[in-house]
Amino acid sequence: MKKFLLFTLLLTLIACSAESGEMVVSEAWGRSSPSAVENGAFYLTLTNETGVDDVLVAAQSEACMMTELHEGYTNDDGTMGMRHVDGIALPAGETVELKPGGLHIMCMGKQVEFNEGSAFAIDLTFENEETRTISAEIQSATAEK
Ligand SMILES: [Cu+2]
């Protein structure tokens, strides 16, 4: 009987740990740019291991006068543009990549120089969890990831 209880307890523990994963934020970065360039962008990878759908609703950084979530798109004539999105959907179990030409955190009105090697704190706000602060490292002006 004791063994059975222990086994049940163990199963419960395993079930709980599988559910209580977290939102994994990795590879946050941006490109360096001269101070004359007004705007910048941040990119990162989000893997939702929480077991429930979530949404990235906002990002903020003291390195920027204003920050917006943007998506890149291609016009019918082949030219590229970008536009504001209200949130970035993060379905449970999926990885969403913010990258050049695609989804990104738009940094409007750079408050500091984006020099290669410097790093900036970014506050990420999710629908399901409290704001989390991550660090984005500035890489070369031509970096691709
Ligand atoms: Cu943008």
**Beta-bridge partners for 56:** 88, 126
Is residue 22 pLDDT above 60, yes or no? yes
Distance 7 CA to ligand 1 centre (A): 53
Q: Six-digit token pair at 100?
A: 């050049």
User: What's the pTM value of the predicted model, to 2 decimals?
Assistant: 0.84
Over residues 50-78, the pLDDT tens digits come to 999 999 999 999 999 999 999 999 999 99
What domains lie within the chain, and their CATH numbers? 21-139 (2.60.40.1890)
Distance 38 CA to ligand 1 centre (A): 12
| Neighbour-count burial of 110, counting CB atoms closer than 10 A to its CB (0-12 exposed, 13-18 middle, 19+ buried) | buried
Distance 107 CA to ligand 1 centre (A): 8
| Neighbour-count burial of 71, counting CB atoms closer than 10 A to its CB (0-12 exposed, 13-18 middle, 19+ buried) | middle
Distance 15 CA to ligand 1 centre (A): 41
Distance 3 CA to ligand 1 centre (A): 59
